[in-house]
Chain A
Amino acid sequence: DQPTAMNAFELISLSKGLNLENLFDI
């Protein structure tokens, strides 16, 4: 999707800071 086609929260949820899967990658 183009960024402009997404709602604000869809865009925000793309942040790596919200991706907790990385916590398990140790």
Chain B
Amino acid sequence: MGCFVSRSRRKFPAQEKTVTLAAETAFTVSEVEALYELFRSISSSVIDDGLINKEEFQLAIFKNKKKENIFATRIFDLFDVKKKGVIDFEDFVRSLNVFHPNVSLEDKIAFSFRLYDLRNTGFIERAEVKEMLIALLYESDMKLADDVIETILNKTFSEADLNEDGKIDLEEWTNFVAKNPSLLKIMTLPYLRDITTSFPSFIFNSNVDEVAA
């Protein structure tokens, strides 16, 4: 019985689901199936239940499930589209889609804005940016005095916060990243172009009769 359940969980998503995900994202059907190989591996790393929990997500990023990190947590929360506390395969594909090289800059800017809007207020607030800076310094063992952090924040907000209300809205963020395009580097994963060569075993598990190019 246990074997049966375990094996059924390893099945690919239904053909219609795969085709729909491919139609609604930058991925081909083959790439969605290759992503399933990756999803299956991450989602079975702690509990083999066909879902990625936060511990498994952190383990995939850091190779260490004990390490709590506000950025990984934030990304996990954004990937958890249905707010169930876990990432299912559809969430995984749709969220990773934003990181595809072919996806519009507008979508990448919107996602990165949400990423830094830690409290979902519709603004990136100075206190949030300070919190993230302190977390980054802690993570990287880098030490900066508080007045240096304040200087960095002042400089950043004087450039980004054009209406000087102490917070950054989406329009200001769009202007800011246009002047600092390197900020969007984290929003593109070139790896996603080659996902089928990274996970070629999808061919043996495919549910789709004719693998679309």
CB-CB contacts below 8 Å: A9-26 with B: 9-26
Pick the contact of B198 from A7, A14, A24 — CB < 8 Å?
Answer: A24
Q: Which residues of A have CB within 8 Å of B129?
A: 8-9, 12
Report the bound CA distance from A20 to B148 in whole Å: 29
Report the bound CA distance from A24 to B27 in whole Å: 16
Establish whether residues A22 and B61, one from each chain, have CB atoms under 8 Å apart when the complex forms: yes
Pick the contact of B189 from A8, A11, A17, A20 — CB < 8 Å?
Answer: A20
Smallest Cβ distance from B112 to chain A, in angstroms? Answer: 9
From B9-17, B134-142, B204-212, the one touching the partner chain is B134-142
Total A-B pairs, Cβ < 8 A: 97
Chain B 182-196 interface mask (CB, 8 Å, partner A; 1/0): 110110010100000
Whether a CB of chain A sits under 8 angstroms from the CB of B69 is yes
Q: Which residues of A have CB within 8 Å of B189?
A: 20-21, 24
Q: How many residues of B contact A (CB 8 A)?
A: 44
Establish whether residues B62 and A22, one from each chain, have CB atoms under 8 Å apart when the complex forms: yes
Establish whether residues B61 and A8, one from each chain, have CB atoms under 8 Å apart when the complex forms: no
Establish whether residues A8 and B69, one from each chain, have CB atoms under 8 Å apart when the complex forms: no
Knowing A15-B71, A17-B71, A23-B61, say if A9 contacts B180 (CB, 8 Å). yes
Smallest Cβ distance from B181 to chain A, in angstroms? Answer: 11
Considering the complex of A and B, which 3 residue pairs feature the smallest CB-CB distances, nearest first?
A: A17-B71, A17-B72, A17-B69
B contacts, CB < 8 Å to A: 38, 41-42, 60-63, 69-75, 96, 99, 115-116, 129, 132-133, 135-136, 139-140, 142, 144, 148, 151-153, 155-156, 159-160, 176, 180, 182-183, 185-186, 189, 191, 198
A contacts, CB < 8 Å to B: 3-4, 6-26
Q: Beyond the given A3-B144, A17-B74, A18-B115, could you list 6 further A-B residue pairs with CB under 8 A, ordered by the A residue number?
A: A4-B148, A8-B133, A12-B132, A13-B183, A15-B135, A22-B62
